[in-house]
Structure 1
Amino acid sequence: MDLDAYVAEHEPQWRRLDQLARGRHLSAAEVDELVSLYQRTSTHLSVVRTRSPDPALVARLSRLVLIARTRVTADSGGSWTGVVSFFTTGFPRAVYQAAPWWGTVAVLFCALTGFLMWWVAGHPDSARLLVGDRAAAQLAESSFAGYYTQYAAPSFAVQLWTHNAWLAAQCLAAGILVVPVLYLLWANALNIGVTGGVMISYDRADVFFGLITPHGLLELTGVFVAAGVGLRVGGAWISPPAHLRRGRAVAEAGLSGVVVALGLVGLFAVSGLIEAFVTPAPWPTWVRIGIGATAWLAFLGYVVVCGARRPGSPDRRPRPDRPVTADRAT
């Protein structure tokens, strides 16, 4: 191997790696470049050691690789880059990719809940059978609205947060079994449908929708996402994609579920705050619904914009500066 020619060919890459490794603040593109050049220079060091072990060059490249490795490991473990990447790319992309699943869940859930409301409202005997005359009258007159004011708002928000997060965790964890997720969705649809039907039958539809809509838009969307991603895991087990083996398909869907579970913690915190502080507030109904709708639309916009920006996994993003086979064989 002509050592002088080899050095002349790769010297610009080594200088650039040294510059990046010593830089203080790197952009995302520069971090990618740093990792790529680190991998290339490690290959160059191996080639020099094997074919032309010049002591000075080996020492120089060893030092450069050590500095770059220290910077790479420090960046991956000690900075906020990973946290920012999770909220700007990881979580919204996982939700966006699972949209066909949770979108289907949302449509079917709303259709079933609407049917139950219509049936209970149009058949008073069914309301008496399901909840009893006295309980139905009490629900319409006071207990439904009173539910949102019976606890202090801060403790109520925490209670709602933990309850919804636990429900989402159940959907995600039981997704591979499918049936438990369907049962949880049915139980919630039945609760909302019967309650709404009773309120409508007592001419309290304005109270019902005025109280449930501000927080329900965001809260139920979080439940739909959790259920859809959970069912996606079950779908990967029942019918894995043709290009993946069953175990690999389930592992990828499960990893996406973990990402979604972490992100939904924040979503349910926001919905809990809205339910505890906005839903029972003595404001006009349109103001309370407007706040809830704004939060809901903001979440959907966040998922669409950030989730669609970088489709596919990071490993499949094009990187022109990745080392090529010819580089390794030089």
Structure 2
Amino acid sequence: MDLDAYVAEHAGEWRRLQWLAQRRRLSAAQADELVELYQRTATHLSLIRSRSPDPVLVARLSHLVLAARSAITGPGVFSWRSIGRFFTVSFPLETYRAWRWWTAVAAGFVALSGALIGYVAGHPDAAHVFMSADEIDQVVNTDFVGYYSAYQPQNFAFQVWTNNAWLSAQCLASGVLIVPVLYLLAMNALNTGVMGGVMVSAGRADVFFGYLAPHGLLELTAVFIAAGVGLRVGWAWIAPGPGRTRGQALTRAARSGMLVALGLVGVLAVSGLLEAFVTPSGLPTVLRVGVGAVVWLAFLTYVVVAGRRAARTDPSS
């Protein structure tokens, strides 16, 4: 084994591994690279030990491998700094990176549900395919509004949170197959379109949008993000991009999806509180919608500002 040639061939990888191991913040792509270079360098160390055991080089690579392993596994203790980094860097960055996907999902969902609302409102008989005349009358006069106050607010908030978290989890988990995500979105757009069309047809458009908007702006955005990120995972398998295998692209997209999923747990909790405490409250409609709009705009601002700032400092963006 020509040790000098071997060192010259792999020195660049070792320097890159050392740089990554010393970084306090790593993107998902850099974390993948760190793991890959750690595995390669551990193999290099094993070969050098068995064939040309230069003590200085062995000591150097041993130290480098240990440092990389520590960077990968972490200290193993709770850290408020890591929690803060997640909410200020990781979650907004990964959500911001996927903005084309979830804004496309949002545009498609709004267009489809809006078209369905308009069609059902203009053709009242179409609603009878899904509901009887008595059921329509009950929805318009009691059930739609009564749904938001049928349970104690704290219990309702938990129920809404778990239901929406489950829907978002389905979108993320089934994203690799693509079709299930599109089906879930289509079914929710159909439900929104039929319900909205029935209410608009009965002259209660103000009630429908007045009760949907306070929580729906944030809630639906969270679902759109989950669906968009899920579809992004599926697309990574179909079109991994240059220089990546399908497995590598899928792993990176899936890791991004897991970070987004964790962040959406909190977002959906906030939307659940809005739906349980603000939507059915006795406040004027303009105030209820205003509260929901402020929270929604605050979330979008957070994603754009924090995500863009994190992307500027991340060379892999």
TM range (shorter): 0.7 to 0.9
**Which residue in the other structure is 1:50 paired with?**
56
How high is the TM-score relative to the length of structure 2? 0.77
Deviation at 1:243, TM superposition (A): 2.6
Q: Deviations over 1:147-192 (max 9, x none)?
A: 0010100000000011100110000000001111011001100111
**Which residue in the other structure is 1:255 paired with?**
255
Note closer, same or farther for the CA distance 1:74–1:101 as it changes in structure 2 (3 Å cut): closer
Provide the C-alpha distance between the structure 1 equivalents of 2:240 and 2:105, rounded to a whole number of angstroms.
20
Provide the C-alpha distance between the structure 2 equivalents of 1:82 and 1:155, rounded to a whole number of angstroms.
31
Note closer, same or farther for the CA distance 1:178–1:275 as it changes in structure 2 (3 Å cut): same
**Which residue in the other structure is 1:177 paired with?**
177
Provide the C-alpha distance between the structure 2 equivalents of 1:70 and 1:163, rounded to a whole number of angstroms.
38
**Which residue in the other structure is 1:166 paired with?**
166
Provide the C-alpha distance between the structure 2 equivalents of 1:71 and 1:109, rounded to a whole number of angstroms.
42
Note closer, same or farther for the CA distance 1:84–1:122 as it changes in structure 2 (3 Å cut): same
State whether structure 2 residue 275 is matched by structure 1 residue 289: no
Provide the C-alpha distance between the structure 1 equivalents of 2:192 and 2:304, rounded to a whole number of angstroms.
28
**Which residue in the other structure is 2:192 paired with?**
192
SS of alignment partner, residue 148 of structure 2: coil
**Which residue in the other structure is 1:44 paired with?**
none
Q: Equivalent residues in 2 for 1:1-330 (5 A)? A: 50=56, 77-311=77-311, 316=316
Question: Any unmatched runs of 5+ in structure 1?
Answer: 1-28, 33-47, 54-61, 318-330
Identical-pair percentage: 54
Deviation at 1:31, TM superposition (A): 5.6
Provide the C-alpha distance between the structure 2 equivalents of 1:299 and 1:202, rounded to a whole number of angstroms.
34
SS of alignment partner, residue 282 of structure 1: coil
Note closer, same or farther for the CA distance 1:228–1:203 as it changes in structure 2 (3 Å cut): same
SS of alignment partner, residue 301 of structure 1: helix
Provide the C-alpha distance between the structure 1 equivalents of 2:129 and 2:24, rounded to a whole number of angstroms.
64
Deviation at 1:73, TM superposition (A): 8.4
Deviation at 1:81, TM superposition (A): 1.5
Provide the C-alpha distance between the structure 2 equivalents of 1:31 and 1:312, rounded to a whole number of angstroms.
16
- Structure 2 residue identity aligned to 1:250: L
Q: Deviations over 1:173-221 (max 9, x none)?
A: 0000111101100110011100000000000000000000000000000
Provide the C-alpha distance between the structure 1 equivalents of 2:270 and 2:169, rounded to a whole number of angstroms.
17
Deviation at 1:228, TM superposition (A): 0.3
SS of alignment partner, residue 147 of structure 1: helix
Deviation at 1:129, TM superposition (A): 2.4
How high is the TM-score relative to the length of structure 1? 0.74
Provide the C-alpha distance between the structure 1 equivalents of 2:262 and 2:107, rounded to a whole number of angstroms.
24
Q: CA RMSD in A?
A: 3.2
SS of alignment partner, residue 151 of structure 1: coil
Deviation at 1:137, TM superposition (A): 1.2
Q: Which moved more, 1:307-316 or 1:295-304?
A: 307-316
Deviation at 1:144, TM superposition (A): 0.2
Provide the C-alpha distance between the structure 2 equivalents of 1:298 and 1:170, rounded to a whole number of angstroms.
26
Q: Which moved more, 1:71-80 or 1:218-227?
A: 71-80
SS of alignment partner, residue 241 of structure 2: coil
SS of alignment partner, residue 310 of structure 1: helix
- Structure 1 residue identity aligned to 2:150: Q
Larger Cα-atom Rg: 1
Provide the C-alpha distance between the structure 2 equivalents of 1:299 and 1:131, rounded to a whole number of angstroms.
36
Note closer, same or farther for the CA distance 1:141–1:70 as it changes in structure 2 (3 Å cut): closer
Moved over 2 A (4+): 29-32, 48-51, 69-79, 312-317
- Structure 1 residue identity aligned to 2:218: L
Note closer, same or farther for the CA distance 1:106–1:30 as it changes in structure 2 (3 Å cut): closer
Provide the C-alpha distance between the structure 1 equivalents of 2:171 and 2:253, rounded to a whole number of angstroms.
14
- Structure 2 residue identity aligned to 1:157: A
- Structure 2 residue identity aligned to 1:173: A
Question: Any unmatched runs of 5+ in structure 2?
Answer: 1-21, 26-53
**Is the 8 Å Cα contact of residues 76 and 82 (structure 1) preserved in structure 2?**
no
**Is the 8 Å Cα contact of residues 172 and 261 (structure 1) preserved in structure 2?**
yes
Note closer, same or farther for the CA distance 1:265–1:233 as it changes in structure 2 (3 Å cut): same
Deviation at 1:310, TM superposition (A): 2.0
Aligned length: 268
**Is the 8 Å Cα contact of residues 120 and 194 (structure 1) preserved in structure 2?**
yes
- Structure 2 residue identity aligned to 1:147: Y
